[in-house]
């Protein structure tokens, strides 16, 4: 069965979960999660798999072992397609709506060194600047997990691409607040369009950063 939209109560499910994030509430409302969130999400990803690859749907349970917040359940449903070259595609549904994007969110130390060397390179850096501009023009936010406050060690504070150098990765992300189209097949088109738009960024990361 192909994707026809998330359930009409998918967004309100997460609003209510945030208000009562308990095992009792979850068990009482789990059929809503399965019918209106999880099953449509899996259908959406299955529809897109031929073009973008197989996705991993995240578990709804939080890992609370090392967190002061002991709320047992995530207040979003997410999935990722992790590519062997270190790039990724991402999707998340929550009370805030649908977030779609991709790239390299938080690079490890060796990846980050390769990323910054590529940003510093005149040709590769200029290419990334053009990709960033195209993503911004398409309505994406271009960001990363964190940024250093000034300049990373070994790079000048007045570097022409200092903003890209300050990042510890790079992603393009579209944030769509809840709208009627979320509950129709049009949501699949939104996801596919965003993942295609982020394709050049993932290709750049694959060539210059890697796994």
Identify the pLDDT of residue 95: 97
pLDDT beyond 80 at 1: no
pLDDT of residue 66: 85
> What's the whole-model pTM score?
0.93
pLDDT attached to residue 85: 86
**φ, ψ for residue 148 (rounded to 5)?**
-75, 155
Question: Can you give the pLDDT at residue 115?
Answer: 96
The model's pLDDT over 120-131, given as tens digits with 9 standing for 90+, comes to 999 999 999 999
**pLDDT tens digit string along 56-94?**
999 999 988 888 889 999 999 999 999 988 899 999 999
> What are the boundaries of each domain within the chain?
10-208
Domain 10-208 in CATH: superfamily? Protein of unknown function DUF1054 (3.30.930.20)
Query: Where would I find the H helices in the chain?
Result: 10-19, 23-32, 39-52, 109-120, 122-137, 162-166, 186-197, 199-208
């Amino acid at each position: 069965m192909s994707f026809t939209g998330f359930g009409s109560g998918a967004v309100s499910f997460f609003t209510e979960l945030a208000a009562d994030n308990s095992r009792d509430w979850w068990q009482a409302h789990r059929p809503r999660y399965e019918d209106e969130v999880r099953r449509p999400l899996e259908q959406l990803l299955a529809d897109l798999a031929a073009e973008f690859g197989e996705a991993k749907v995240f578990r709804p349970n939080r890992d609370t072992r090392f967190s002061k917040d002991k709320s047992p359940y995530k207040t979003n449903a997410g999935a990722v397609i992790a590519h062997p070259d270190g790039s990724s595609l991402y999707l998340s549904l929550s009370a805030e709506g649908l977030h779609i994007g991709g790239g390299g969110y938080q690079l490890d130390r060796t990846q980050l060194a390769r990323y910054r060397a590529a940003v510093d390179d005149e040709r590769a850096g200029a290419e990334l600047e053009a990709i960033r501009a195209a993503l911004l023009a398409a309505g994406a936010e271009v960001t990363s997990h964190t940024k250093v406050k000034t300049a990373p060690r070994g790079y000048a504070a007045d570097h022409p691409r200092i903003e890209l150098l300050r990042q510890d990765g790079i992603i393009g992300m579209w944030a769509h607040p809840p709208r009627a189209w979320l509950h129709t097949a049009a949501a699949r088109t939104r996801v596919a369009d965003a993942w295609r738009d982020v394709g050049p960024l993932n290709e750049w990361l694959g060539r210059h950063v890697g796994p």
